[in-house]
Chains A and B, each alone.
Chain A
Amino acid sequence: MTIERLQDVEFGEELPVFAPDTGLANVKRFALAAGWDGPRFTDHEAARAEGLPGALVPGIMSQGFLAAMIHRWAPEAQIENVDTVFRAPVIVDQSYTISGVVTDIDEDAGKVEIDLTVSNEAGETRVFGTARVKLPS
């Protein structure tokens, strides 16, 4: 179910979990579009040569996943702000899930706040963020 209006949102509501595509081909596609196509993002061996555990999903791509997740939940949502903390690396070709929960609703302003977390298969937080979103009334 998607959200159309602010009145459809409940405090504490959980957004549908989103499993982003962190496969190498998709990360390369993003990296080229963003102009962030350095080898640490597009080549596992090159990343390991830098001492990294593997190619990294760019932090800005994780941020993009958060925005996409919000739009999948509420297609007309206008994202006003996303503040993202990169706590630990997100590795290409590993599986992650993103969860989100509504933590505030300002009915007068027509806005909600959402906490978002990118977790690995062990349930460890890799990236977390907060978004402020405007919804139609």
Chain B
Amino acid sequence: MTEPLDIDALRESFLGEVFDERSYAVDAKKCVEYALSCGELAPRYTDPNDPDFQAPPTFPTSFQGGKRLPDGFPKLPGLGMDAGKAVTAMKPIRPGVPLTGRKHLHDVYTKTGRSGRMVFMVIRLELFDPDDVPVATADTSIVIRERPSE
């Protein structure tokens, strides 16, 4: 049986440290398809000719790739499940403008129920424009259900 994760040690060792950096391209056609398939009607998301054309506000949560967890992170005692996503928009994301994304472990916490302890890890992707101005953050919450001690 895998040892339970030491939450305090994880927080001490990994919280806030950038463990991945990569570039993201934002394609206008994909933004439009994304918006229309979600049911968006606002032209600033669906019409590339709109003077305020921009990516849908939730688009950053689709960005993938790179390391999932920091180097040296302990083996997880189970398969992580996607528990949720949060996005914070600071500036419009304009298709065609490249973005830089930096990931860090933003939070680690637990909830305990009758079936054992669940560990939540929040990975935050911070996105910056070419002037290094923050445009958005996208959080992914991963939950691991630990098995109770036998």
Report chain B residues within 8 Å CB of A59.
82, 84-85
Report chain B residues within 8 Å CB of A65.
38-39
Closest to B41 in A: A72
Report chain A residues within 8 Å CB of B39.
18, 20-21, 64-65, 68-69, 72
In the bound complex, CA of A107 to CA of B57 (Å): 23
Q: In the complex, which range does the number of interface residues on chain B fall in? A: 20 to 34
Chain A 20-62: CB-based contact to B (< 8 A → 1; otherwise 0): 1100001101101111100000000000000000000001110
Chain A 63-106: CB-based contact to B (< 8 A → 1; otherwise 0): 11111110110010011111111100000000000000000000
**Number of residues from A at the complex interface, CB < 8 A:** 34
Q: How far is the CB of A74 from chain B (nearest CB, A)?
A: 10
Once the chains bind, are A71 and B84 in contact (CB under 8 Å)? no
Binds A, one of B13-21, B58-66, B96-104: B58-66
Report chain A residues within 8 Å CB of B88.
80-81
In the bound complex, CA of A20 to CA of B38 (Å): 7
In the bound complex, CA of A117 to CA of B105 (Å): 28
* B30: Cβ under 8 A from any A Cβ: yes
Report chain A residues within 8 Å CB of B86.
81-84
Report chain B residues within 8 Å CB of A26.
37
Once the chains bind, are A67 and B58 in contact (CB under 8 Å)? yes
Report chain A residues within 8 Å CB of B33.
29-30, 32-33
Minimum-distance CB pairs A-B, first 7: A64-B38, A33-B33, A30-B37, A68-B39, A83-B86, A34-B62, A33-B34
Instruction: Kindly list 7 other residue pairs between chains A and B, CB separation below 8 angstroms, not including A21-B37, A67-B58, A84-B84.
Output: A21-B39, A29-B33, A33-B34, A63-B58, A67-B40, A71-B41, A85-B83
